[in-house]
Structure 1
Amino acid sequence: MSKTTAALEAAVAELLHVRAPAGTRPSPRQRVATDRAFARILKLLSPRFRHFIRQYGLGNHWDDAEQCCAIAVHRAVEAYEPEKAQFTTFVNWQIRGELQSLRFRLMTDQRPSAQKVSATTVSLHSFVTGDDGEESSLESLVEDEEALERTERAASDYLARAAAQCLIEEFVAKGRHAALETLRRKQPKRELARALKAGGRASLDPQALDGIEARLERDREILEQRVFGELADYDAPEGSGLNREQVRQIGKRAARAMAELAEQNPRFRVMADYAPTIASRRSRAAAPAPGILPDPRAAHNRATQVVALSDLAPVAPVSATRRPDGDHLAA
């Protein structure tokens, strides 16, 4: 037995000794000792890894091959029985199997079915020379058919969200201006005249100002959650103290006001352009259903004449007489 084989057997025995029993949770000390013993085994087997990787022609996939070798060693340790064979012999077959599987996954031209048709494996990272003499990788030439659609959809979502956010901010600013004007009109005229005569501005009630800001902030939160899909229709946000009907009224008033802003403010001219299209769709959806009478303007009905029942001439009443034999006779 060589020194490397003896050291490998000792490292495997140490790993089997320090690891936690099956079905139990290892302690932090056991995990550290197991990782150190496993790293020692990988270090002793590293020359064998390099030999097998070259033998199977996986030099261009060195990192993947090393990962497969580590997986093979882990499986060998889990299934190793010292009384049946040495670990050196047992781990060789595990490494060979993992590398063979990796080669079939990466180098499909090694399969018998691929050799029949002379298939060749080409890496996407390999470089090719174009007609203009410039080199580029095959990966850069692969076209993603859905890339343009995803990009346009993401850009559209971003612009729509930004426009909706600006429209909500404009609505809040307009509501703040209207609330302040209402508060100024409610202020006593004497205080307003005294403040203007003194050259200053009329001071407003701080509590009323705080109430206005709190209400606007609440409305802003409700609108953002409803517009961006974070709040279902007619549902009240938690902690707002509102019921569903109040939330519905807030959304209804805000929708009407924001529609007017979109038509009046040139910043939202694009949004206003969609209004005729939406109105035409709604009018078509609300159009009455066709009647049961045939259309006289249709090509196949031009030779016919459609007359309403009310325009028909009245029919004379029919009287009946009884014959001697008992049968009825029309007169």
Structure 2
Amino acid sequence: MAESVARAGCVLLRALLRFAFMVANNAVAIPSYMLYLLALQPLRVLDSARFWYLEGVLFKWLLAMVASWGWWAGYTVVEWGDDVKAVSEDEAVVLVNHQATGDVCTLMMCLQDKGTVVRHMMWLMDHIFKYTNFGIVSLLHGDFFIRQGRAHRDQQLVLLKEHLEKYYRSRNRKWIVLFPEGGFLRKRRETSQAFAKKNNLPFLKHVTLPRLGATEVILKTLVAQQENGTITSGNTVIKESKSKGLQWVIDTTIAYPKGEPLDIQTWILGYRQPTVTHVHYRIFPIKDVPAEPEALAHWLYQRFIEKEDLLTHFYETGAFPPLQGQTKAVSRAMTLSNLWLVCVQSFAFLSGGMWYCIFQYFYHCLF
């Protein structure tokens, strides 16, 4: 009994310390990001490309801080399927299943070692994230917050198209990440299953049928007329003559042990035991994705039916099945450098101190 109480006390103390660190981390990092961008506004006028390059570096470092909260709590990632590093410099749309708020944190972690992806990515998130601590950062970065619900659907798709046309290429974005299910699994499962039954579609337990609007708008807006790129056997990608526009669709499936997803509270407080999250990638050339709405709907449904099969296999065996043409599935444990994370955190706190001193100096000069 005493041992259990002591263990619970340690977990509580650790959670409180982590929460205090997270608050301090946000208090210095987010205002510093905003102030750096404010100070760089003259550069934005003189050299917009250089400005957005620097903004992308700062944005990646901010996401690295979020990744560090999970990494230091023992929440790591093992990757399966195609190697997305091979297409990290191409334009791609990333389709992800959505189980909990921890999905976003998981992606922030596992994309850190994918070259320049994080610097050049755009997120499509539920509008509720706009009101979180990270909302102002996403707004400045140029992410899109979408309101769910039939009443807002048509207007949101128009706004999304305008947003992509205005910000995607002008800010040199390459990857665009969205969750086509339109909500968390636990909230949408019953509705999705009822829709599937009504329309003679497969009964899904581990994912829900995707909503089509945002994906269709993205493809219509960003796909060029001529696209090239060929996936070969295994994880190799052959890049042919490049043209402007999306080159790939990266079908991403996140799986948690025993189907118990991480949420943002767990990521911050670290009260759950160290957990390995598994992420499976499958890359499709954009030329293989149909443009006609009905065919695109069928194609998207097939991707999520495949996700259902992948997750069923994972929950039964603890591993994803091998890719087509492979006899054995190969996993890759992604790693983050603790030294790199410490350097990023140190830069954040030093920046916070620097801006505090600057404001204090001007305050004393003026008053």
Q: Give yes or no for TM over 0.5.
A: no
Tell me the TM-score range normalised by the shorter chain. Answer: under 0.3
More helix by share: 1
More strand by share: 2
Q: Structure 1 length as normaliser, TM-score?
A: 0.18
Q: With CA pairs under 8 Å and 6+ residues apart, which has the higher RCO, 1 or 2? A: 2
